Structure 1
Amino acid sequence: MNFIKSLVLVAVLCCFSCSNAQQKDGLTTPKPHVENNNSITLASKVKLYSKKLGEERELLISLPENYSQEIQNYPVIFVMDADHMAMFELTRSINNLLAETDFMPKSIIVGLTNNGNLNNRFQMTSGANRGSGFYENKAPDYLHFLQHVVIPYVKKNYRVANHKTIIGLSPSNGPLHEAFYNQPNIFDSYIFLAADLYFNYSKSQSKGEKLMEAMKDKSHSKATVYLGMGSKDVDFNQKWGTQFSEYEAQLIAAKNENIRFKFEIIEGDGHYEMAAKGIKNAFKHIYSEDIWNRQNIYHLNRGTTPVDIKKHFDRLSVHYGFDIFPPESKIESQTRALLRWGSPENLTTAISLLTQAIEYYPNSASLHLILAEGYQKSNDTNMAKRYLNKAKELANKFTIKNHIWFSKKLTELSQ
């Protein structure tokens, strides 16, 4: 009897072992679990299997507000070690803030979790580094997982633009180094937080020396790079701050137009706490003011026209390689102000801008309602009725952000 039980146990174990051995890269949960709050999707959770890592990994995926009713494709931001130091939540919140205030586009945030393991698994150097056994040299495997499993999954399931940013923090900068040196066409922008350039890349070269070599290479793909460090790290070892400054000077002298870079030591912050300011400053480097030039673009009462706004965002779209739209909230606030002022010129400008904006946001009930008001104030009853009916139709399909204002205005225009 014991012999039979033993045979059964061996058979079960063999089946289990074979099923694991045959498991392929890809989706392991049949349907992403979604956590949301009304129209704001906080995160989808999905597990993907990696043969290289020999395990499955959970992805956290945050979509922009109103994703389901908008039509554009969005740039993607990949966050390494997303479940460590609130990196995923930080990235998502800062993107929401800067997108709403028109400092950067809305983005899809994809976080790669580390299954509660030591984040040093992301590191690219081996146990010989610093005499530590924690550095497991998994960076190439993580990059393979990103390139061949995660990115294809995201492309297949979401509306993504052809622009990808990757963020690492301290040890989880490993895949960023690996990509920048060996697979430079995967990502467009790199954010190295707590950039520990002073540790070894090889026995003869530090990570900083290797990175500078690659960043000086004028045949390297175009890229935007942010390297940040907390001042408390410099206080701990002054040599690290000196190296940081020397590397920056080397790159300035190299004049490689393919690489836009920013070095920053964030005053008063330590190794990990610098991440909040670092992420914000990195985004404002990628979408820098000298390119974005957002200061006066909405001043419709100072000579800016709807045509100027369209040309501005067309120019940005060409520069970054994907469609960039003016924030709906900006259009809404500007046109509501124009309608309050009420002069014939303001009404004409508001109608022109709203008509243009509806091409960007064809499912916006609010923009249709404001346009109906514009036509009503211009005494064009037929057009007012047309856009009022469309606003009602869209309101029944999609969530209205400012529901109280919308209901009040809808009642007022329907009388």
Structure 2
Amino acid sequence: MSVLKSIKSFSLFIFLSVSMLCEAAVTVSDQSPIVIGEELLLKSEILNKEIPLKISLPSNFALSSEHHTYPVIFIVGKHGHQYFHTVNGIVKHLADVERMPETIVVSIDGGSPSPDIYHNNMFGNQPSNKWPSWGEPDMYHQFYQDELFPFLEQQYRANNKRSVVAISTSSFFPLNNLIHDKHLFDTYIFLAAADIIGMGHTPNKTMVDGLAIRLSKSSKVNPLIFFMVADDDLKKQKKYQTNVDKLKSKLSQIEGLPFTLRIYDNEGHYDTLIKAMLDVIEIKYPKSLWSAKYRDIVAKPGNALKNLDKYFDQLSQHYGFAILPRATRWNSVNRLGFISTYLIRQNRAAEAIEVAQRYTKYQPKSWQAYESLAKAYEANNNREHAIENANVALKLAKYEYDKKRLNQYIQSITPTIK
């Protein structure tokens, strides 16, 4: 017993000694927040109030030129603010690895108002047969169209390709928008709304009925529509399964309608969000069209830059907005910066110059772009232009390590005066 006590005491002494040493040795030398977006209040003259927004921009937004415009994913209502980080994380990662276009993510707290809703006994025991309207949806529609969209276009180069993510009761405004043909969004993503679609704008009529009437009308372009449901929701109430079956039956009969219904096994009400977003992105931006292999493209017969432009012009035509080859990507060969170097190695220096020039056009504030152009000129035996662009890179570089390396490079290509 005494030996055990001694061992315990010795162990405690060592633990305390090590802990004290660790406390003494570990200090924080620098500390700063990790910024993933911005939160702001947008003052609306139409609504006569301030609207809370969270906005996250693409990773390369600050470096990119005005040639780059971005689709927007809106997450509306209280659910939007709650799940902003989740959706933004998915989008940012997949955009960064070029599995989808670089995209702005915006959440709008309070941005999902509703007209009168007849709940049709879909939502527990309610004292009346309908919920009164809130938030004036027609005015919110005007706010989106006349204030929010122009603001995003002017401040963040947003384009007119807009998706909305609507979760549970935050689905009311997007459903109302879709049923009444308001044309705010080109993609509607509904999650956890098996009960909501059984409600309606008039007695004994459901959202499903309204959707079927609206979407059966001829239209030049129908929006993409996704309904993503957890199986746990359908097990709660038989009527929720009936709603989903009715939705599938009615919308599947509409020829040419881009409609997707997914039911997720072993998932709860909000649990489907990540799986659903991954499925939506894969359907909308299939890997067969994305994840371009830049080296394979420039290896084809013809000019390297023209081959890249042809590929991305076809992608742009398919999606209806300008999709450009990536100037830079972390740890990837699929970027203009690498392709310029790759072409130099292939003894295609003149083409490397063209690619590097495009790099500087797309990212005029990037010192790496001008360094790439300098090295392409050097490979093409144009030392004067190499030095000129290396000096531009030096002026743009912020960190001393980069400046030192660029100075060494400039000295190495500058003729020695004897």
Q: TM-score by structure 2 length?
A: 0.74
Equivalents in 1 of 2:356, 2:327: separation in Å? 10
Equivalents in 1 of 2:396, 2:265: separation in Å? 48
Equivalents in 2 of 1:287, 1:339: separation in Å? 29
Equivalents in 2 of 1:226, 1:298: separation in Å? 35
Deviation at 1:275, TM superposition (A): 1.5
Equivalents in 1 of 2:404, 2:258: separation in Å? 48
Equivalents in 2 of 1:373, 1:183: separation in Å? 54
* Counterpart AA for 2:322: D
| Residue in structure 2 matching 1:343, options 340, 345, 350 | 345
Q: What is the aligned partner in structure 1 of residue 361 from structure 2?
A: 359
Q: What is the aligned partner in structure 2 of residue 125 from structure 1?
A: 117
Equivalents in 1 of 2:170, 2:350: separation in Å? 53
Deviation at 1:43, TM superposition (A): 1.0
Alignment of 1:15-26 (within 5 A): none
1:89 pairs with 2:85: yes
| Residue in structure 1 matching 2:62, options 57, 68, 88 | 68
Deviation at 1:408, TM superposition (A): 7.0
Q: Deviations over 1:82-106 (max 9, x none)?
A: 5657322122222211111112222
| Residue in structure 1 matching 2:40, options 28, 45, 51 | 45
Equivalents in 1 of 2:118, 2:320: separation in Å? 37
Contact 1:74/1:160 (8 A) holds in 2: yes
Contact 1:73/1:161 (8 A) holds in 2: yes
Structure 1 unaligned blocks of 5 or more = 1-35
Deviation at 1:167, TM superposition (A): 1.5
Is the partner of 1:328 in helix, strand or coil? coil
1:284 pairs with 2:282: yes
Deviation at 1:77, TM superposition (A): 2.1
Equivalents in 2 of 1:270, 1:85: separation in Å? 20
TM-aligned CA distance change 1:156 to 1:355, over 3 Å: closer
Is the partner of 1:225 in helix, strand or coil? strand
Q: What is the aligned partner in structure 1 of residue 211 from structure 2?
A: 211
Equivalents in 2 of 1:337, 1:150: separation in Å? 38
Deviation at 1:128, TM superposition (A): 6.1
Contact 1:184/1:220 (8 A) holds in 2: no
Equivalents in 2 of 1:177, 1:242: separation in Å? 18
| Residue in structure 1 matching 2:176, options 160, 175, 178 | 178
Deviation at 1:51, TM superposition (A): 6.0
Deviation at 1:189, TM superposition (A): 1.5
TM-aligned CA distance change 1:297 to 1:135, over 3 Å: farther
Q: What is the aligned partner in structure 1 of residue 53 from structure 2?
A: 59
Q: TM-score by structure 1 length?
A: 0.74
| Residue in structure 1 matching 2:95, options 99, 108, 115 | 99
Is the partner of 1:362 in helix, strand or coil? coil
| Residue in structure 2 matching 1:109, options 82, 90, 105 | 105
Contact 1:166/1:190 (8 A) holds in 2: yes
Deviation at 1:37, TM superposition (A): 5.9
Equivalents in 1 of 2:149, 2:38: separation in Å? 17
More deviation, 94-103/143-152: 143-152
TM-aligned CA distance change 1:250 to 1:126, over 3 Å: closer
| Residue in structure 1 matching 2:377, options 371, 375, 378 | 375
* Counterpart AA for 2:40: K
1:229 pairs with 2:232: no
TM-aligned CA distance change 1:340 to 1:275, over 3 Å: same
TM-aligned CA distance change 1:194 to 1:377, over 3 Å: same
Deviation at 1:228, TM superposition (A): 0.9
Q: What is the aligned partner in structure 2 of residue 328 from structure 1?
A: 327
Is the partner of 2:105 in helix, strand or coil? strand
Equivalents in 2 of 1:407, 1:37: separation in Å? 26
Equivalents in 2 of 1:186, 1:166: separation in Å? 9
Q: What is the aligned partner in structure 2 of residue 413 from structure 1?
A: 409
Q: Deviations over 1:160-182 (max 9, x none)?
A: 21222222111101111111122
Contact 2:298/2:305 (8 A) holds in 1: no
Is the partner of 2:215 in helix, strand or coil? helix
Structure 2 unaligned blocks of 5 or more = 1-31, 413-418
More deviation, 72-81/153-162: 153-162
Is the partner of 1:65 in helix, strand or coil? coil
* Counterpart AA for 1:366: Q
Contact 1:127/1:136 (8 A) holds in 2: no
Is the partner of 1:333 in helix, strand or coil? coil
* Counterpart AA for 1:314: D
Q: What is the aligned partner in structure 2 of residue 299 from structure 1?
A: 296
TM-aligned CA distance change 1:240 to 1:394, over 3 Å: same
Is the partner of 1:48 in helix, strand or coil? strand
